[in-house]
Amino acid sequence: MLMGKTDLSNSLIIVAATTPTDEASRERMLFGFLGAQGDGLEEGLLTTPTTRKDGVIALSDIAPNIGSFLRLDHDSRYIGRTWHVEAADNNMTMMEEIEKRTVFASILRPAFVKGYVVLHLIILAFIIFFLFFDPKKVNYFTPLLLGLIAVPAALLLVCLTNITSLWLYILLCSLIVVALVSVSIRL
């Protein structure tokens, strides 16, 4: 009803639900909704240099866009950037997929980082122990050290996929680590 009475040639309508529902919060689905319609906005996904992801903008990006629409001088206190629209088909499907991958990564990341740090400490403790008590066995830890170095590269490579299955994610990371270690040992 409001949209029918609004002249969009000189208006900017922003509808924002910036906090998720209690149910969504429990499921760690923390994306809010922001829709904008008005002069110069086509159908598609909002994107901004702040996030560099189609469909994902930061709350700090709202104020610069209102200022830009009102043709105000850029305020240096704005930390956000103005958005633009990327044309896309199936906007809601794309946003559901982006949210699903983001939730998967945010749940997985703390456990992986903690495990990686603990594994680092354990391997370094073993190396130090063997350096003092049996230096000949230190060479056996070379593949483990190479594996530790390869883990960040593997995680970055797996992020290029759309995998949201934990076991498939772990399997692919492991295979990449083994491949990188094998290649580096042969060199």
Please say whether the beta carbons of 108 and 166 come within 8 A: yes
Mean pLDDT by 10 residues, the chain (187 residues): 70 81 79 80 84 85 84 80 84 83 83 91 92 88 89 89 88 93 86
d(CA 48, CA 61): 8
**Residue 117, pLDDT score:** 93
Q: Which two tokens stand for residue 67?
A: 């200022």
Please say whether the beta carbons of 44 and 88 come within 8 A: yes
Domain residue ranges in the chain: 3-88, 95-186
For 133-171, the pLDDT digits (tens) are 988 888 888 888 899 999 999 988 988 888 888 899 999
**Residue 2, pLDDT score:** 65
